[in-house]
């Protein structure tokens, strides 16, 4: 009975994850949603920036704090260990949905590409970024990432890190995909720039914390992998013994 409840809870979190992911694609593209990155309730520019940064900040703080091992230990005092990941996914998705729902557009346009085929190519690149992000989760363990494996396994064993496929090109293909999706747009408004810049800053800071955790937990194999593989930009550099790990 307990296992059934855990699986039901994890499935609910996963359904919300898929729904919010679809919402994210539509929101950033500003199509098919009531509130998009460039349309919705209008307020003064200063107020819009303050609201949007507060929303993004709340998500970033939650996402960072809840990912720390100490926070996970605290959470398991209140929920079963098998539900810890699903709870993280569920709460993160609710906060991200709040960002999309309460977002306030910011005026101004940095660029607007209307000529074809360039506009179509930018939209293609946008969708490719989301596809890259989603595909990278399956190369590690998609079910583990969203909490379904923890809820369903009687003897859960965390997946090891992988160096295959996309991970042979960059260490963080999921983050690379998100960055491409956030910046590849034919129309860069002030609000879109705010979203993309804030998200980029958070991703870069988050990668540093994640890298530190991975080096502590995996040790020498990860350090060696990091020396050979760039973090985000799939550009090979000549390996130099004792050189600092390539951060980008």
- Which pLDDT belongs to residue 14? 96
- Out of 39-48, 101-110, 148-157, pick the least confident: 148-157
Checking if the pLDDT of 236 tops 50, the result is yes
pLDDT (tens digit per residue) in 66-105:
877 777 788 888 888 888 999 999 999 999 999 999 999 9
- Which pLDDT belongs to residue 63? 82
Q: What angle do CA 84, 16, 197 make, to 5 degrees?
A: 90
Rounded mean pLDDT, 215-230: 91
43 in any annotated domain: yes
244 in any annotated domain: no
- Which pLDDT belongs to residue 241? 46
246 in any annotated domain: no
How many other C-beta atoms are found inside a 10 Å radius of the C-beta of residue 24? 20
Q: Which domain range does residue 176 map to?
A: 2-228
Strongest mean pLDDT among 98-107, 162-171, 235-244: 98-107
48 in any annotated domain: yes
pLDDT (tens digit per residue) in 106-140:
999 999 999 999 999 999 999 999 999 999 999 98
Rounded mean pLDDT, 212-223: 90
The pLDDT-based confidence of 240 (bands split at 50, 70, 90) is very low
Q: Distance (Å, rounded) from C-alpha 157 to C-alpha 149? A: 9
Checking if the pLDDT of 230 tops 90, the result is yes
Q: How many domains does the chain have?
A: 1
Numbers of helices and strands, H then E, in the chain: 10, 2
33 in any annotated domain: yes
Checking if the pLDDT of 203 tops 80, the result is yes
The whole model's pTM is what?
A: 0.88
For residue 227, the Cα-to-chain-centroid distance in whole angstroms is: 24
45 in any annotated domain: yes
62 in any annotated domain: yes
Torsion of CA 126, 128, 130, 135, to 10 degrees: -170
Q: Distance (Å, rounded) from C-alpha 140 to C-alpha 179? A: 19
Q: Distance (Å, rounded) from C-alpha 35 to C-alpha 189? A: 15
132 in any annotated domain: yes
């Amino acid at each position: 009975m307990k296992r059934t409840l855990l699986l039901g809870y994890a499935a609910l979190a996963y359904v919300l994850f898929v729904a919010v992911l679809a919402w994210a694609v539509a929101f950033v593209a500003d199509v098919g949603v009531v509130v998009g990155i460039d349309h919705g309730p209008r307020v003064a520019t200063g107020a819009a920036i303050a609201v949007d940064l507060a929303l993004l900040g709340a998500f970033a703080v939650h996402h960072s704090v809840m990912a720390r091992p100490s926070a996970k230990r605290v959470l398991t005092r209140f929920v079963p260990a098998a539900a810890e990941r699903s709870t993280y996914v569920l709460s993160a998705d609710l906060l991200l949905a709040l960002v999309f729902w309460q977002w306030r557009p910011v005026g101004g346009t940095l660029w607007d590409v209307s000529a074809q085929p360039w506009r179509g190519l930018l939209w293609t690149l946008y969708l490719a970024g989301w596809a890259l992000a989603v595909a990278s989760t399956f190369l590690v363990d998609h079910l583990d990432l969203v909490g379904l494996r923890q809820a369903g396994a009687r003897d859960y064993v965390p997946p090891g890190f992988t160096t295959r496929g996309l991970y042979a090109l960059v260490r963080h293909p999921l983050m690379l995909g998100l960055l491409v999706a956030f910046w590849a747009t034919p129309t860069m408004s002030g609000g879109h720039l705010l979203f993309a810049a804030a998200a980029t800053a958070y991703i870069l800071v988050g990668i540093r914390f994640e890298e530190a955790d991975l080096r502590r937990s995996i040790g020498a194999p990860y350090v060696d992998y990091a020396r050979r593989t760039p973090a985000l930009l799939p550009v090979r550099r000549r390996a130099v013994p004792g050189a600092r790990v390539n951060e980008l």
